[in-house]
Structure 1
Amino acid sequence: MKQQSSIEQKQSALYTIVTNLTFWVLIAIVCGILLGHYYPANATQMKFIGDWFIKIIKLFIGPIIFLTIVLGIAGMGNLRKVGRIGIKSLLYFEIVTTFALAIGVGVAYLLEPGKIDKTGLDVQDASQYTSGGSSFSWWQFFLDNFTLQVLIAAILAGVILNYSPKREKGVSILYACSDYVFKALKIVMYLAPLGAFGGMAYTVGKFGLHTLIPLGKLMLTVYITMGLFIFVVLGIIMRYYKFSIFEFIKYIKAELLIVLGTSSSEAALPTLMEKLEQMGCSKSVVGLVVPTGYSFNLDGTSIYLSMAVIFLAQLYNVHLSFEEILTIIGLLMITSKGAAGVTGSGFIVLASTLTAIHKIPLEGLAFLLGVDKFMSEARALTNFIGNGVATIVISKSEGEFVDADNPRIEE
């Protein structure tokens, strides 16, 4: 019986592995590398597969950005009911996530993970993404970018819906639409191994194996940056409120393991809320800050997205002006909201950002797909810890924190 049970466990583990999308992405990456190295001429012809995958992803940019922003603004109706706490929460979210975006950009420029050598990749058709050296114009930038137009339309629609007497019905309909769109995106993401194969085969076949070095540098840089953000930035915030970030992480270690195993913070949110209440945060603050932070307070996602954009610019040797960097941060401040927990949503945000700035080759997404799955854990963990810290901060600042039976998390 024990032997039979052991065999069943092994079969179950094997089934879990072979049905995991990450497993097939990894297989596709290896196949793409091998084809690119041994048969470069054939590998470069695989470019259309990566391009095809990116074109499908681009179809989701408008609907997802519109629905995410409208629902996010419409949801502020609940925040308005709690007055000062809701406003303070949003202000905290925006400040911290903007700081995370700036850190991502700064570290990417400092460590230059996308630099293969002094020149980057020799992309001959990169001129189609540039403005030909003409002076930067915000008005022309708006007219030429569908993504920005969708963003503004979504903001206006969200504000109108927020004050509409039929707000609840409208939100319900939009949530149903959003559910269908994200389900469709999830189905499309099953094609991710094909996109990874095409992008990796083309890149290695055309530029050689040394192009894999930047991907490794990006992974290492992202993990280092998120570690610094958690233990330095969030650590300083916690210390200001007389808490220890190390003890807090120890306190929620079970939830962090769940996040690590699922690569999503959504699975552990209910138990996080329960532990925050046991810790001393008021139920009303926990119920407001944690769910809202899941859409608005995405520290890890912000760091990754900003670093990914700069990484691709370095990879293709595309110079970004200071105005363009500020534009990227501004766009990501908006488009990154709601990018957590949904497979492929990060690529929608990246695609929309690259499309908006119209300078970095969009084909780079297929190249980036090769390592994205291996950084999702870092994003999810950072988002999760950041939301816990945000709840503690709001509770303490509002006098909504009571002494609990868990003094071990306090210094």
Structure 2
Amino acid sequence: MTATTLATETRRDVRRAWWRELWVQVMIAMALGIALGAIRPDLGAQMQPLGDAFIKAIRMLIAPIIFCTVVSGIAHMADMAKVGRVAIKALVYFEVVTTFALIIGLAAVNLWQPGAGMNIDPASINASVVEPYVKQTAAVGFVPFLMNIIPQTFVGAFAEGNILQVLFISVMCGFALIWLGERARPVTDVIDVGGKMIFGMVRMVMWAAPLGAFGAIAFTIGKFGLGSLASLGKLLGGFYVTCILFIVIVLGPISRLCGFSLWKLIRYIRDELLVCIATTSSETVLPRMLSKLETLGCEQSIVGLVIPTGYSFNLDGTCLYLATAAVFLAQATNTQLDLAQQIGLLLILLVTSKGAAGIAGAAFVVLAATLAATGTIPVASVALVLGIHRLMSQGLTPTNLVGNAVATIVIARWENALDADRLARVLDGELPAES
């Protein structure tokens, strides 16, 4: 095959028919879901099982994918010092960027003042609706979080689907295979093949992504409606603007410093972003993000370590949500927060935002835990945002996703584990988006 023919075939692979693009199918499905939820709210609310089934189908594959990816990456890396170096760099990066997210969230909500004038009396709030979330706050904290990384049993981590527990086991298995040397090659080969099999299953499940997006968005619109959100529209609008500002003024410069276009990266992961927005879950696209970032030119070992860790430590959108919601509730209940108290709130959020990995409705649970820790803002006031939490999640989950994609490329470049030429060609559309 000549070079010209090969180039032609590559361009043909890149330019698929528009209707076969996943993002187009998901957008059409979302539009249909919005229409159904608006026209027939009762029927739209009944579409929830479609979204839930899709999320469950993806979640069942996350643990084995992380295990295969991380174990294979470390075993092939054969350098334990590099694994430790990558982990330290990633954690430092995560802490710095999430601190910026918290500061921006606090600054924006103080300027926007979405809760000013609501004059809510905390005594009038029905606290019973948030009791299930408040009860979980005892498990939220830095020490319980560290203890929870170690699973009760080897199999239990996979059964529960706890990302950090699976990552912990995977790293240990990877180190053990390095120590075994050549004797480990048959096991490593089996894990490599197993990983390819799991990614094949992911491709099959992703065929149902438009159906899952349709069900999830129809449920959201059908349950909460388009017109019933006016009273909290200022909070929602301000939060979405804050997420966009964070991406532009923090992640944008980081991307430029590392030599790639943030806009092109967002365009590259648009399928995953739309699925996130529809399902309000970034877990649904974790398998595809692992694959796509490898396709971009990041080493498998870097991707396998940074992405799963980032899903617990690098939640930029969640930090923006926590800062915004906490100060909003203070404003709504006329709770005065001076500068010192807001700095204290930021320090508490630096801990609690990392301590909710593996908890259902993590962001909302952490919000309740944070209010309880401050002792200033009434905990019962979280009921004010319970109804729109899912809609706020449609802003925070894609922000989390973009943040982790940028982090992976940055860490890969720092480690000289990035094919910069391939990165540029894939983002420019000269090479296929998926390998």
Q: Scaled by the length of structure 1, what TM-score is found? A: 0.62
1:151 maps to amino acid: G
| Cα offsets for 1:287-312 (capped at 9, x unmatched) | 11011101111000110111000000
Please list, as runs of the form range in 1=range in 2, the aligned pairs for 1:2-401 lying within 5 A after superposition. Answer: 17-20=45-48, 82-116=83-117, 120-123=119-122, 151=141, 153-154=143-144, 158=147, 215-337=232-354, 339=356, 343-401=360-418
Instruction: For residue 88 of structure 2, give the secondary structure of its aligned residue in structure 1.
Output: helix
| SS class of match (1:318) | coil
Q: Give the Cα–Cα distance (whole angstroms) in 2 for the partners of residues 121 and 174 of structure 1.
A: 43
The 8 Å contact of residues 93 and 297 in structure 1, kept in 2 or not, is answered as: yes
Residues 301 and 340 of structure 1 are in contact (CA less than 8 Å); yes or no, is this contact kept in structure 2?
no
Q: Distance in 2 between matches of 1:335 and 1:269?
A: 23
The answer to whether the 8 A contact 1:114-1:315 is kept is yes
Q: How many residues align?
A: 293
Alpha-carbon distance, 1:151 to partner: 2.9
- 2:142–2:354 Cα contact (<8 Å) kept: no
Structure 2 distance, partners of 1:376, 1:150, is: 20
Give 1:103's aligned amino acid. I
Task: Check conservation: 2:294, 2:303, Cα contact below 8 A.
Answer: yes
CA contact (8 A) 1:265 1:341 kept: no
Partners in 2 of 1:273 and 1:367 — Cα distance?
A: 36
Q: 2:290, 2:303 within 8 Å by CA — same for their partners in 1? A: yes
- For structure 1, the residue ranges without an aligned partner over 5 or more in a row are 1-8, 24-77, 127-145, 180-192, 201-208
Among the aligned pairs, what percent are the same residue? 41
Give me the whole-angstrom Cα distance separating, in 2, the residues matched to 1:340 and 1:258. Answer: 21
Which one-letter code corresponds to 1:112 in the other structure? Q
**Separation (CA, whole Å) in 1 of partners of 2:423 and 2:98:** 31
In structure 2, give the amino acid aligned to 1:111: W
Counterpart of 1:64? Answer: none
Task: Output the CA distance in 1 between the equivalents of 2:84 and 2:238.
Answer: 39
What TM-score results when the alignment is normalised by the length of structure 2? 0.59
Distance 1:298 1:321, change over 3 A: same
The residue aligned with 1:134 is none
The letter for the 2-side match of 1:85 is V
Could you tell me how far 1:401 is from its partner in structure 2? 0.5
SS in 2 for 1:121: coil
- TM-superposed deviation, 1:232: 2.2
Distance of aligned partners of 1:287 and 1:177 in 2 relative to their CA distance in 1, 3 Å threshold: closer
3-state SS of 2:294 partner: helix
- Distance in 1 (CA, whole Å) between partners of 2:230 and 2:117 is 7
**1:404 partnered with 2:422:** yes
Unaligned runs of 5+ in 2: 1-31, 52-73, 75-79, 126-135, 163-218, 430-435
Q: 1:311 to 1:171 in 2, by over 3 A?
A: farther
Q: Letter of the aligned partner of 2:120 in structure 1?
A: L
Residue 294 of structure 1 contacts residue 338 of structure 1 at CA under 8 Å; is this kept in 2? no
Asked if the contact 1:298/1:340 (under 8 Å) is kept, the reply is: no
Amino acid across the alignment from 1:107? A
- What is the alpha-carbon distance in structure 2 between the residues aligned to residue 383 and residue 245 of structure 1? 14
Q: Is the 8 A contact 2:141 2:356 kept in 1?
A: no
The one-letter amino acid of 2:144's match is: A
What whole-Å deviation, never above 9, does each CA across 1:249-278 have from its counterpart, x for those lacking one? 111111112212211111111111111111
CA pair 113-322 structure 1, distance change in 2 beyond 3 A: same
What is the aligned-residue RMSD (CA, Å)?
Answer: 3.8
